[in-house]
Amino acid sequence: MKKKLSNLFLSASFIFCMIALFAFVAPQDQKVAGAWTIPATNKAMKNPTKDSDKAASVNVGKMLYTKHCKSCHGGLGLGDGPKASSMKTKIGSFKDAKFQGQTDGEIYYQTFVGRDEMTGFDKKIAENEDRWAIVNFVRTLK
């Protein structure tokens, strides 16, 4: 009986170790995304949110981000959400200076037009004010 329990424990330990190992190895197989091609008209888009409305917009953006974006991008925008490791492409960080150096229009385009695994959210988030709210929230994740 003790031998059976010992073998069961060893087998369970081995399986647990293999699962833990693959959890850390799998994300390393992700490819780095190529540069986005964003039309000049989108790059030049101006954020219509007035400074006096920014705080309220950020709050709405946070709520929408939590619902639609957090599962991949993570709570702090580090690209470490629960779905991130299952993606073929590594998800970048919103804290990255290169990301934050983009125009609001570029971030808008990436979010609502999308490409590849980053599907566009133009149909899920139809209201323009809500779209800009997400852009405004993402800007706070510096």
- Please tell me the predicted confidence (pLDDT) of residue 16: 58
pLDDT greater at residue 34 or residue 69: 69
First to last CA, the chain: 58
Q: What confidence score (pLDDT) does residue 11 get?
A: 58
Q: Which CATH class is domain 31-139?
A: mainly alpha
Q: What are phi and psi of 20, to 5 degrees?
A: -60, -40
pLDDT in tens, 84-123: 999 999 999 999 999 999 999 999 999 999 999 998 999 9
Percent of the chain with pLDDT over 90: 75
Segment 55-82 mean pLDDT: 97
- The residue that leads in pLDDT, 29 or 87, is 87
Boundaries of every domain in the chain: 1-30, 31-139
What global pTM score does this model have?
A: 0.78
What single-letter DSSP state applies at residue 34? Answer: P
Distance CA 43, CA 104 (A): 8
Q: What is the pLDDT of residue 34?
A: 87
